[in-house]
Amino acid sequence: MKGLGWWLMLVGSLRLASVWFGFVDIWALRRAVFSQTTMTEIHGRTFGVWTLLTCTLCFLCAFNLDNKPLYLATFLSFIYALAHFLTEYFIYHTMAIQNVATVGFFAGTSIVWMLVQWNAHKPKLQ
């Protein structure tokens, strides 16, 4: 597996932890992500499902880097996540700067790495 694949596995695993918090320990999710607002159980579960989808994309893409549509969908999931969290910080003020910085590091690194590697993965002939 290539370095990008290992990175996506790491990010997917971290996202999986957020899924756990969304379904089981909403207060940990609030502390770790949305520390500037209140959250209900439905918010946690919704976040958990959304994060589970992005986690699945990371794992699938890690093992299928040559699949351009899957690669693009995974790449866009990082763009959407970063845009969402920046909006939460700058517009809605639901996050602390350290929480945005953590998300920004993982999403930003993934976006840049995936852009740099875009043409490095050639589709396999079948």
- Asked if residue 25 lies in contact with residue 48, where contact means CB atoms within 8 angstroms, the answer is no
Name the residue ranges covered by the structural domains of the chain: 3-116
Query: What's the distance, Cα to Cα, between the start and end of the chain in Å?
Result: 20
Average pLDDT value over all residues in the chain: 92
Q: Could you read off the pLDDT of 91-104 as tens digits, one per residue? A: 999 999 999 999 99
Q: Could you read off the pLDDT of 12-44 as tens digits, one per residue? A: 999 999 999 999 988 888 888 899 998 899 999
Q: Distance between CA 93 and CA 103 in Å, rounded?
A: 15
Q: Distance between CA 114 and CA 49 in Å, rounded?
A: 24
Predicted confidence at residue 119, as pLDDT, reads 83
Predicted confidence at residue 94, as pLDDT, reads 94
What are the backbone angles phi and psi of residue 120, rounded to the nearest 5°?
Answer: -80, -20
Predicted confidence at residue 126, as pLDDT, reads 47
Q: Could you read off the pLDDT of 42-63 as tens digits, one per residue? A: 999 999 999 999 999 999 999 9
Give me the mean pLDDT over the 67-89 stretch.
96
Q: Is residue 70 predicted with pLDDT exceeding 50? A: yes
Predicted confidence at residue 32, as pLDDT, reads 86
Predicted confidence at residue 125, as pLDDT, reads 52
- Asked if residue 49 lies in contact with residue 20, where contact means CB atoms within 8 angstroms, the answer is no
Stretch (H or E) spanning 50: helix 41-63
Query: How many other CB atoms are there within 10 angstroms of residue 32's CB atom?
Result: 16
Q: Distance between CA 65 and CA 48 in Å, rounded?
A: 25
